[in-house]
Chains A and B, each alone.
Chain A
Amino acid sequence: MKKEALTSKQGSSLIILYLTGNAAIMALGSAAKEDFWLAIIGAVIFAWIVTLQLSYISSLYPGKNLFEICESLFGRIIGKFLVGLFTFYTMQTGGIVLRNGTQFVNINGLTNTPIMLIMLCIMLLAVFLVKNGMKVMGKWAELFAIIFSSAIFILVILAIPKMNFENVRPFLYRGVKPVIVSTFYTFGFPFGEIITFSLVFSTFEKGEKVSKVYRNGLIIGGGIMLITSLHNALVIGVENMNTTYYPTYFAATKITVAPFLQRTEVVLASVIVIASFAKTAVYLLASCIGIAKLFNCKDYKFIVTPVAIIFMIWSFNLFKSVMELREWDLAVWKEFSLVFQAILPTFIFISAIIKKKIRGVSI
Chain B
Amino acid sequence: MFLLVLAAFIIIALLEMVPLYKGKNKKEFILYSSLYSIAFILSFLMSVGVKLPSVANFIKVIVMFVKKGFKVE
Which of B35, B38, B66 has the most C-beta atoms of chain A within 10 angstroms of its own C-beta?
B35
- Name the CB-closest residue of A to B8: A309
Determine the distance from Cα of A290 to Cα of B31 in the docked complex, in whole angstroms.
13
> Chain B's nearest CB lies how many Å from the CB of A89?
10
Residues of A within 8 A of B51 (CB): 317
> Chain B's nearest CB lies how many Å from the CB of A18?
22
Q: A297-B27, A306-B35 are in contact. Are A317 and B63 (CB under 8 A)?
A: no
A318 to B52, Cβ gap below 8 A?
Answer: no
Q: Is B7 engaged at the interface, CB distance under 8 Å to the other chain? A: no
Partner of A302, one of B32, B54, B67: B32
Q: Is A153 engaged at the interface, CB distance under 8 Å to the other chain? A: no
A332 to B59, Cβ gap below 8 A?
Answer: yes
CB 8 Å contact bits of A99-142 with B (1 = contact, 0 = none): 00000000000000000000000000000000000000000000
Residues of B within 8 A of A303 (CB): 31-32, 35
Q: Is A331 engaged at the interface, CB distance under 8 Å to the other chain? A: yes
A310 to B56, Cβ gap below 8 A?
Answer: no
Which of B20, B32, B39, B43 has the most C-beta atoms of chain A within 10 angstroms of its own C-beta?
B39
Residues of B within 8 A of A92 (CB): 55-56, 59
Q: A307-B35, A328-B60, A335-B66 are in contact. Are A313 and B55 (CB under 8 A)?
A: no
- Of residues 4 through 60 on chain B, the ones whose CB sits less than 8 Å from some CB of chain A are 12, 16, 20, 27-28, 31-32, 35-36, 38-39, 42-43, 46, 51-56, 59-60
Partner of A313, one of B28, B35, B46, B56: B46
- Name the CB-closest residue of A to B53: A317
A306 to B60, Cβ gap below 8 A?
Answer: no
Residues of B within 8 A of A296 (CB): 27
Residues of A within 8 A of B60 (CB): 328, 331-332
A302 to B16, Cβ gap below 8 A?
Answer: yes
A317 to B39, Cβ gap below 8 A?
Answer: no
> Chain A's nearest CB lies how many Å from the CB of B73?
11
Determine the distance from Cα of A6 to Cα of B59 in the docked complex, in whole angstroms.
35
Q: Is A171 engaged at the interface, CB distance under 8 Å to the other chain? A: no
A313 to B43, Cβ gap below 8 A?
Answer: yes
Residues of A within 8 A of B43 (CB): 309, 313
Determine the distance from Cα of A345 to Cα of B35 in the docked complex, in whole angstroms.
29
Q: A92-B55, A317-B52, A328-B56 are in contact. Are A302 and B20 (CB under 8 A)?
A: yes
Q: Is A56 engaged at the interface, CB distance under 8 Å to the other chain? A: no
- Name the CB-closest residue of A to B58: A92
Residues of B within 8 A of A346 (CB): none
B55 to A318, Cβ gap below 8 A?
Answer: yes
CB 8 Å contact bits of A228-244 with B (1 = contact, 0 = none): 00000000000000000
> Chain A's nearest CB lies how many Å from the CB of B1?
10
A335 to B32, Cβ gap below 8 A?
Answer: no
Determine the distance from Cα of A96 to Cα of B66 in the docked complex, in whole angstroms.
22
- Of residues 277 through 317 on chain A, the ones whose CB sits less than 8 Å from some CB of chain B are 291, 295-297, 299, 302-303, 305-307, 309-310, 313-314, 316-317
Determine the distance from Cα of A335 to Cα of B16 in the docked complex, in whole angstroms.
39
Determine the distance from Cα of A328 to Cα of B28 in the docked complex, in whole angstroms.
37
Q: A92-B55, A295-B27, A318-B55 are in contact. Are A310 and B67 (CB under 8 A)?
A: no
Residues of A within 8 A of B52 (CB): 313, 317
Q: Is A319 engaged at the interface, CB distance under 8 Å to the other chain? A: yes
Q: Is A95 engaged at the interface, CB distance under 8 Å to the other chain? A: yes
- Of residues 326 through 340 on chain A, the ones whose CB sits less than 8 Å from some CB of chain B are 328, 331-332, 335-336
List 29 interface pairs A-B (beta carbons < 8 Å), by A numbering.
A92-B56, A92-B59, A95-B55, A296-B27, A297-B31, A302-B32, A303-B32, A303-B35, A305-B16, A306-B32, A306-B39, A307-B35, A310-B39, A313-B42, A313-B43, A313-B46, A314-B55, A316-B46, A318-B55, A319-B54, A319-B56, A328-B56, A328-B60, A331-B64, A332-B59, A332-B60, A332-B64, A335-B63, A335-B66
